[in-house]
C-alpha cells in the first residue's frame, strides 16, 4: 500500500504584521521629517534671494537637508516593506510603486545637494574678500531654483503616481479599508493636474490651488501610515495561509 504525506507551511501572521508595522512607521517618518524641513528649517534660505551673501542660517538649513534625506530614505522604506505583500496582488504594479519611490527619493536628493551647495558657497564667499556679489547671488538663486523644480517633480508628481499605483493595489486587495486608498485614487488626478498646471506656469508652487490639490494624497498617506501601525493589514486572500512549495513533500511508498 502507498501512503502520501503532505506538509504545509503557513504564511505567519507575524510576518505580514511586521511588514505593515514597518511600512506604516516609515510613512509616519516621512511626515515627521518633511513638515519641519519644508516649513521651518529651509525657508530662511528658500525665501531669501540674498541668502548666499547674507548672515545665513546654515545650521537650520543643514538640519533641513538632513530631514529631507531621512524623508527620501523613509519613502524607499515604505516601498521595500510593502513590496513582498502587495506583489501578490499584482507584481507589475508593485514593482512600479517601488520604482516611483526610488525616483522620488533620487529627485529629492538632487534638491538636497543643491541647497548644501548654496551653504558651501556662502561660507566660502564669507572667507574671501572681494567676492563677486552679483555672481554669487545669481548662482545661489539658480541652485534654489533647482531645488524648487525637484520639489515639484519629486514630492508632487511622484506622490501622485505613487498614489495611483499603491492605491490601486490596496483598493483591489482590501488590505486596508477601501476609503483609505479611495482618497489616494481621487487625489492623484487632482495632484497630477495641479502639478502639470504649475509646470506650465499657471500657478505658483505652494499657492492655494496646488496646496489644496495635494491634501487628499497627503491624507491618504497619513491615514495609511496610521492604520498600518495601529491595525496592520486586514484579513485578505493575499495574506491568507499559503502552501510553501519547499515544504510540500510526498512520502515514498510504504509497505
Q: How confident is the model at residue 128 (pLDDT cuts 50, 70, 90)?
A: low
Q: Which of 107, 113, 116, 114 is nearest to 195 (CA)?
A: 107
Task: Using pLDDT thresholds of 50, 70 and 90, give the confidence band for residue 153.
Answer: very high
More confident residue, 6 or 140: 140
Within the chain, where are the H helices? 13-36, 43-46, 58-86, 91-126, 133-151, 159-173, 179-199, 208-230
Rounded Cα distance, 117 and 112, in Å: 9
Q: How far is the C-alpha of 46 from the C-alpha of 27, rounded, in Å?
A: 25
- Using a 10 angstrom Cβ sphere, with 0-12 exposed, 13-18 middle and 19 or more buried, the burial of residue 159 is buried
pLDDT tens string 17-69:
999 999 999 999 999 999 999 999 999 999 999 999 988 899 999 999 999 99
Q: How far apart are CA 121 and CA 123, in angstroms?
A: 5
pLDDT at 142: 96
In the chain, where are the structural domains located? 13-247
Model pLDDT for residues 85-110, shown as the tens digit of each residue:
999 999 999 999 999 999 999 999 99
Provide mean pLDDT across the span 111-137. 87
pLDDT of residue 205: 86
Amino acid at each position: 500500500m502507498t501512503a502520501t504525506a503532505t506538509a504545509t507551511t503557513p504564511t505567519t501572521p507575524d510576518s505580514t504584521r511586521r511588514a505593515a508595522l514597518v511600512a506604516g512607521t516609515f510613512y509616519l517618518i516621512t511626515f515627521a521629517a518633511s513638515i519641519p524641513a519644508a516649513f521651518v528649517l529651509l525657508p530662511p534660505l528658500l525665501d531669501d534671494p540674498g541668502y548666499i551673501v547674507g548672515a545665513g542660517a546654515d545650521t537650520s538649513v543643514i538640519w533641513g537637508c538632513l530631514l529631507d534625506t531621512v524623508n527620501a530614505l523613509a519613502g524607499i522604506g515604505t516601498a521595500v516593506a510593502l513590496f513582498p505583500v502587495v506583489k501578490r496582488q499584482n507584481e507589475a504594479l508593485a514593482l512600479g510603486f517601488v520604482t516611483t519611490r526610488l525616483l522620488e527619493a533620487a529627485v529629492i536628493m538632487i534638491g538636497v545637494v543643491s541647497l548644501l551647495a548654496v551653504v558651501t558657497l556662502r561660507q566660502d564667499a564669507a572667507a574671501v574678500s572681494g567676492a563677486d556679489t552679483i555672481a554669487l547671488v545669481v548662482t545661489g538663486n539658480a541652485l534654489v531654483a533647482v531645488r524648487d523644480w525637484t520639489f515639484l517633480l519629486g514630492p508632487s508628481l511622484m506622490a501622485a503616481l505613487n498614489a495611483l499605483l499603491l492605491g490601486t493595489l490596496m483598493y483591489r486587495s482590501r488590505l486596508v479599508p477601501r476609503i483609505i486608498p479611495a482618497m489616494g485614487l481621487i487625489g492623484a488626478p487632482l495632484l497630477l493636474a495641479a502639478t502639470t498646471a504649475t509646470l506650465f506656469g499657471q500657478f505658483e508652487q505652494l499657492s492655494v490651488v496646488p496646496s489644496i490639490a495635494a491634501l487628499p494624497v497627503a491624507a491618504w498617506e497619513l491615514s495609511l501610515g496610521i492604520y498600518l501601525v495601529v491595525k496592520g493589514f486586514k484579513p485578505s486572500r493575499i495574506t491568507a495561509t499559503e502552501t510553501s512549495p519547499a515544504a510540500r513533500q510526498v512520502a515514498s511508498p510504504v509497505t
